[in-house]
Amino acid sequence: MAERRSLEFRAKLNLSANSPLPGRVLARHLGIVIISPEQVPGLSANDLKLLTEDCKWWSAGLLKSEKGTLILLNTSHNPARQESNIMHEIAHEDCGHEPVGFYQQPGCPFPLRSFDASHEGEAEYLGACLQIPRDGLLWALKRRMTSAEIANYFGASEEMVRYRRNTTGVDAQLSRRPQTLLRA
């Protein structure tokens, strides 16, 4: 299901299964607006400092406004982490997860939606599939790309590539291929 979704989105955007899909491109396609703390309207200098300097651990949060769905993204993280955080929040939205509550991010003037543990797991898995589809991972490995090269290609972290290699079983699948095919 998650794998299929990842390919469906790529197809809608005229991308192949092997193509990187930047989170911002998918968000735009879905009408989701991504904002950085600096873009939060009416934020005081003090609250902005809280969000961007004093409290660095937070990743992203989903919120609904009259303008639609927004993702507040911590843009101080490295690009690969931002990609995974965007995809994670898009996954919550795509799965139609209902928040179980709200949490107050220090410095953030509005509450962000929080989800239950099973929905967190689901969003993590779908988010990872959206970043690196199994078919794309297989394609890259057949081209003998290293994990670092795959990470760079998909705009993902190497940790994400390892996670996908572990959860998809692609390495085992490739090692079962006949030697003649491997040389082809």
Strand 33-35 and strand 68-73: pairing? Answer: parallel
- Is the Cβ of residue 3 or residue 120 nearer to Zn ion in the bound state? 120
Specify the stretch interacting with Zn ion by CB under 5 A; choose among 39-47, 75-83, 115-123, 132-140. Answer: 115-123
Sequence-distant (≥ 6) Cβ neighbours of residue 110 within 8 angstroms: 63
Smallest distance from Zn ion to CB 180, Å: 45
Smallest distance from Zn ion to CB 117, Å: 10
Smallest distance from Zn ion to CB 83, Å: 15
Smallest distance from Zn ion to CB 95, Å: 10
Within positions 42 to 61, which residues make up the interface with Zn ion, using CB under 5 A?
Answer: none
Contact call for residue 71 and Zn ion (CB under 5 A): no
Contact call for residue 123 and Zn ion (CB under 5 A): yes
Specify the stretch interacting with Zn ion by CB under 5 A; choose among 2-10, 72-80, 116-124, 165-173. Answer: 116-124
Taking the C-alpha atoms of 64, 68, 69 and 73 in order, what is their torsion angle to the nearest 10 degrees?
A: -90
Q: Which helix (H) or strand (E) holds 112?
A: strand 112-114
Contact call for residue 126 and Zn ion (CB under 5 A): no
- Is the Cβ of residue 130 or residue 140 nearer to Zn ion in the bound state? 130
Helical packing angle, 134-142 and 2-12, nearest 10°: 80
Smallest distance from Zn ion to CB 124, Å: 7
Query: Of 95, 29, 26, 110, which Cα lies nearest the Cα of 65?
Result: 110
Q: What is the CA radius of gyration of the chain?
A: 18
Exposure b/e, 105-143, CB count within 10 A at least 16 = b: bebbeeebbebeeebeebbbbbbbbbbbbbbbbbbbbee
Specify the stretch interacting with Zn ion by CB under 5 A; choose among 93-101, 102-110, 119-127, 155-163. Answer: 119-127
Interacting residue ranges for Zn ion, rule: CB under 5 A? 120, 123
